[in-house]
Structures are given as structure tokens and as C-alpha cells.
């Protein structure tokens, strides 16, 4: 589904075809929404997700990072964050104290639409997430899940970071200070976010289902 996966094994790479990840209709609809960068001193829509079960690291790092931003930026932020139930109270307390416009939930059934309306995404880098970010074309800060034997999420994030469509930060470097610095920089450089969105979109494959169907037909000799 992602390019470069088999680069280290030429024998397998020679037998493989990259078709992309087939996208559900909601993602295809979201991909039709043009990216709109934040205006200078205008709202900055931030989406924070962490996979199907959420990611505790996002609850641990993102709120204190937001607190370290210049107070003038707090009023610009519109945050949508996936938060586990057990972390909900402490995350909400921070945003309420800072008077941040934040919507928190353990799960968002309309995530494709929220991806489409976001201007910066902070997320884990599962294969599906990376494929959807690329298909929709949204700039992101990706924090790969550490500890995996084959470091698959690190490699996934690398596909977008190498295309300049995402910033990959290892979890050991994902600190409130680092995240605050990156958000602050992005907030003052809307053109950079636009360029990242376009770069991410260049990696996306909206016709993956058709490519896969064509490949199956070809292999079957139909």
C-alpha cells in the first residue's frame, strides 16, 4: 500500500506492485475538500488523534505543550482531540483553564470530515492513518508507536516526511517543549502548511481500489 516498503529486499520488490490503500467513500469525499491554511492571526484548527484506542502520550504531551504556547495563540486554537475516558478529566481541565476551544471524545465517527476540516494533524502513524492523510492531503506531525519489532509506524511516517508532507518525531523527542515550538512555527508560516498539504497529497492514491481490481484481473488472466 505504501511505496518503498520492500526496498530492502529487491527479490520481493521485483514481484510487488504498489497500488495504495483502497479508500472508503467518506475518505474520498473528504479528499475533495480543498485545504485551507490558517490566516495570520486567524483560527488554527488542530486535530489530535492516536489510533482506534487513542494514545495516552497525546494526553500526556499535547495539553502541556499548548500551555507553553504564547497566550496570544490560545485564542486562535480550535482543538479536536481523541482522549481516552480515563484521561478525559485532566485533559479537559487544562484546556478549560486556558479557555481553549476544544472538543474532546474517545472516538469520532466522522473522522474523515474532521480530517478534511483540520489545518494541522498530530497523530500516530499507522498505515491506514498515513494513507488517509496522504489521500486527503493534510499536513501532520507524526509520532510513531515505539517498540515495534519492525518499526512499521516509523517507516510509515517516513513516507510522508520524505515527501515533506509531515514532520516525524520519535516518541522520545516528543516533549511539550518540542511540540510547542513546532506548533508556534507552523502558526506563523501558513505557506509552509500549504506546501506540506500539497506534498502529502502527492503521495496519496485515490484510485487504489481500481488499481487493485485491475491487478487482480490481470493476475487472474480475465
CB 73 within 8 A of CB 187: yes
38 CB-near residues (< 8 Å, 6+ apart):
44, 45, 76, 119, 187, 190, 193
C-alpha to C-alpha distance for 44 and 190, rounded to whole angstroms: 10
pLDDT score for 53? 60
pLDDT tens digits along 23-73:
999 999 999 999 999 998 899 999 999 876 668 999 999 999 999 999 999
Tens-level pLDDT at each residue, the chain (222 residues)? 887 778 889 999 999 999 999 999 999 999 999 999 999 889 999 999 987 666 899 999 999 999 999 999 999 999 999 999 999 999 999 999 999 999 999 999 999 999 999 999 999 999 999 999 999 999 999 999 998 777 889 999 999 999 999 999 999 999 999 999 999 999 999 999 999 999 999 999 999 999 999 999 999 997
Distance CA 66, CA 83 (A): 15
State the Cα angle at 40 between 35 and 44, rounded to 5°: 55
Residues 140 and 68: beta-carbon distance below 8 Å: no
pLDDT of residue 52: 63
Cell numbers 492531503: residue: 137
For the entire predicted model, the pTM comes to 0.94
Domains (ranges, CATH) in the chain?
40-203 (3.40.50.2000)
pLDDT at 150: 78
User: How does 33-66 read in b/e, with b if 16+ C-beta sit within 10 Å?
Assistant: eebebbeeeeebbbbbbbbeebbeebbebbbebb
Q: From 83, 89, 54, 48, select the one nearest 66 (Cα to Cα).
A: 48
Distance between CA 72 and CA 82 in Å, rounded?
24
State the pLDDT at residue 209: 95
Amino acid at each position: 500500500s505504501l511505496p518503498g516498503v520492500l526496498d530492502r529486499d529487491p527479490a520481493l520488490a521485483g514481484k510487488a506492485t504498489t497500488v495504495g490503500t483502497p479508500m472508503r467513500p467518506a475518505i474520498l469525499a473528504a479528499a475533495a475538500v480543498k485545504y485551507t491554511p490558517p490566516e495570520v492571526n486567524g483560527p488554527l484548527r488542530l486535530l489530535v488523534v492516536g489510533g482506534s484506542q487513542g494514545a495516552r502520550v497525546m494526553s500526556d504531551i499535547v495539553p502541556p505543550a499548548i500551555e507553553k504556547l504564547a497566550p496570544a495563540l490560545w485564542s486562535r486554537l480550535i482543538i479536536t482531540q481523541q482522549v481516552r475516558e480515563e484521561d478525559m478529566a485532566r485533559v479537559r481541565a487544562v484546556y478549560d483553564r486556558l479557555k481553549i476551544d476544544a472538543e474532546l471524545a474517545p472516538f469520532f465517527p466522522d473522522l474523515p470530515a474532521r480530517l478534511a476540516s483540520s489545518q494541522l494533524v498530530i497523530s500516530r502513524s499507522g498505515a491506514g492513518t498515513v494513507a488517509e492523510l496522504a489521500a486527503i492531503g493534510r499536513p501532520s506531525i507524526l509520532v510513531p508507536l515505539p517498540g515495534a519489532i519492525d518499526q512499521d509506524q516509523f517507516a510509515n511516517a517516513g513516507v510522508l516526511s520524505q515527501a515533506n508532507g509531515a514532520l516525524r518525531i520519535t516518541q522520545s523527542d516528543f516533549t511539550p517543549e518540542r511540540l510547542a515550538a513546532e506548533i508556534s512555527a507552523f502558526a506563523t508560516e501558513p505557506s509552509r502548511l500549504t506546501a506540506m498539504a500539497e506534498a502529502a497529497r502527492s503521495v496519496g492514491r485515490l484510485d487504489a481500489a481500481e488499481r487493485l481490481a485491475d491487478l487482480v484481473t490481470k493476475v487472474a488472466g480475465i
